[in-house]
Structures are given as structure tokens and as C-alpha cells.
Amino acid sequence: MAVNIAKEKWTSKVSEMVIGTEPNAVKVGGEATLPFLHFEGEIPNRPAMALEVNDMEPTDWPETVTKPFKGVLSDPVAWAKKNVEYGADLIALNLVSADPENKDASGEECAETAKAVAEAVDVPLIILGCGVEEKDSEIIPAVGEALSGQNHLLGLATENNYKRLAATAMVHGHNVIASSPLDINLAKQLNILITEMNLGADKIAIDPLVGALGYGLEYAYSIMERSRLGALMGDKMLSQPIISFVGPEAWKAKESKSPIDENPAWGELEKRAILWEVSTAVAFAQGGSSLFVLRHPESVKQLKTHFEKLMVSNKY
């Protein structure tokens, strides 16, 4: 007996972004339907996952997440290689040493580090500044120039510093992350400003800011979902792939750090903490995110299994 399934008819699709160069390029986005509804439209690319690397040893990461990287945390090149062994699709390089409160590393020093990491691994990079906008405007252009033509993903471009980062992406052949604070209108406006500089809309990834499970996840999810609906209905300034920085959010939640003797009902710390990261990523994948920045290699393993099953066609 034939079954008639109600299907939405969308007029547009999410832009496809290419990060890196062949034969090791990673493609994200390109969906012509809502997440994993293969019977309604094409979903060409599995969500991609990056593992973080800091250019100096982190002091605020819990032991649960540093344990898999014992012996390499002070060496970003060795750390990046370890992440590739763990199955990361990309490396998210955090140039935290540039923070004036850390080492105040120069653009030249950051460029040397990024170049060394890029040469050591065969996966593309997501290159992130230290979070101080003025400093990032200094170091990201230097890094972009040092890696010219390699088509990495640079961030974070905000309302205050997007001009320098977008110009760097244009001149040196990279993509850029447009970051705005949990507001769909601000996200759209920032994309408009960047494209007015003549950087292609397909060279932008949207970072709407996210919260971990229990810490604003629902609001972030709703922003993503509205963005994806806008893209499918033809809004070109909301059609960019969404990147979610799950790792930094999930691993600062109390549920991923509190030992079992403090909260016995929460269960074993390591399993709980990893599930906190995995569950957050799974939720955002259903909201429309297609690129995830994670911290624990077990999260990558579990999410790959999950996404591979969701990428199996369910067409009727």
C-alpha cells in the first residue's frame, strides 16, 4: 500500500562552503531541506567536526578533556597531529597566546605557529584569534597572509573588526566566520556588511553564538532554525552554513566538571561530560548547524557514528 508523505517545497538552499584545498578540502552546507529530511531535498554533506588546539597549554580545561592529549598540550603541532589521528575533519587553532594578558604574541609569531600546524596536517584549519577584537585585527591578517591560497576559515569577524578580516579573506583566498550575539537580525546585517566588501556569500560561515545543554541551548537552537528556514525560503543573507563552538561551551558547564561525589545522581563524570558535549552538538545539528568545534575525541567518535546513520537516505 502506497504511503503519501507530506513534503515541503523549498525555493532555495543553504550555500555550500569549501574549506581547504583538494584533495583534502572539507565541504559543509548545501542542504536543500531541513536537517536530515532526505525525502524533501538534497543533503550533500555530512556535518563536519573540528577538534581544538591551543597555541599554549590550557590552564582552565578539566582533566577529563586534557587526558587524551597528555604529552602534547604544550606543542600545537603535535596536538594537531593527535587530533587528526582521533578523526577530526578540521583543526580549530586558537591563538590564545596573542591575548595581552597571556603572552601578547605578535602577528608574526602567530603566523609562524599557524604555518607550522598547517604544514603538519592534511586537514583544513579553522584559525581563531584570542578574543580581543583589537588584537585579532592585528594577528589574523598576518596569519591569513602566511597561509595565502590555502582557503582556511578565519575568525571571528564581528561588527567591530569585520573589515580587516573580510579583506584578508578576499586578498589571500580564505573563508571567514561572521559572529554575532544570538540575534538573527544582527547575523543577517553582518553578512550584508561583509558581502558589500565583495567577499562572496559562499565564503561566510555564521556563528550565532551558542550555549551548552542547559545554558541557553533552546534560544540558540531557535536562532539556527529560523536562519535555516530563511535560507530555504530564499534569503541569501541567511543562507550561509552555521558553525557551533560546542566544545568551549559544553566544557565550562558545571555538569561537565563536578565530580560524582558532589552530585552522585549525575553519574560518572567522564561519561557525563562527554555526553554533555555530544548532546549539545546533536541538538544543534537538528537546528541546522553543519560545522562543530569540539574538544574531546570521544565526542568526535560518537558524533561520526550518529551523523553517518542520519545521512542514510530516508526517501520514500
* Residue 21, in any domain of the structure: no
Tell me whether residue 16 is in a domain: no
Residue 149 lies in a domain: yes
Which pLDDT tens digit goes with each residue over 54-111? 999 999 999 999 999 999 999 999 999 999 999 999 999 999 999 999 999 999 999 9
39-57 pLDDT tens trace? 999 999 999 999 999 999 9
Q: Residue 112 domain-assigned?
A: yes
Count the helix, strand and coil residues of the chain and give each as a percent rounded to the nearest 5: 45, 15, 40
Strands 175-179 and 90-94: what pairing? unpaired
C-alpha distances in angstroms, 269 versus 66, 259, 282? 14, 6, 20
Q: Is 248 exposed, middle or buried (0-12, 13-18, 19+ CB in 10 A)?
A: middle
Give, as one character, the DSSP assignment of residue 128: E
Contact 99, 59 (CB under 8 A): no
Residue 5: CB atoms within 10 A of its CB come to 9
Positions of the chain with pLDDT under 50: none
| Residue 103 resides in a domain | yes
Does pTM top 0.75 for this prediction? yes
Among candidate residues 226, 206, 205, 217, the one with its CA nearest the CA of residue 280: 217
| Beta carbons of 210 and 246 less than 8 angstroms apart | yes
On whether residue 3 sits in a domain, the answer given is no
Which contacts qualify for 306-314: CB closer than 8 Å, 24 or more apart?
306/278, 306/282, 307/46, 307/47, 308/46, 310/35, 310/36, 310/285, 311/36, 311/43, 311/46, 313/38, 314/36, 314/37, 314/38, 314/39
| Domain CATH number, residue 100 | 3.20.20.20
Query: Residue 208: which domain range?
Result: 29-310
Q: Based on the structure, what is the number of domains in the chain?
A: 1
Asked whether residue 15 is assigned to any structural domain, the reply reads no
Confirm whether 316 is domain-assigned.
Answer: no
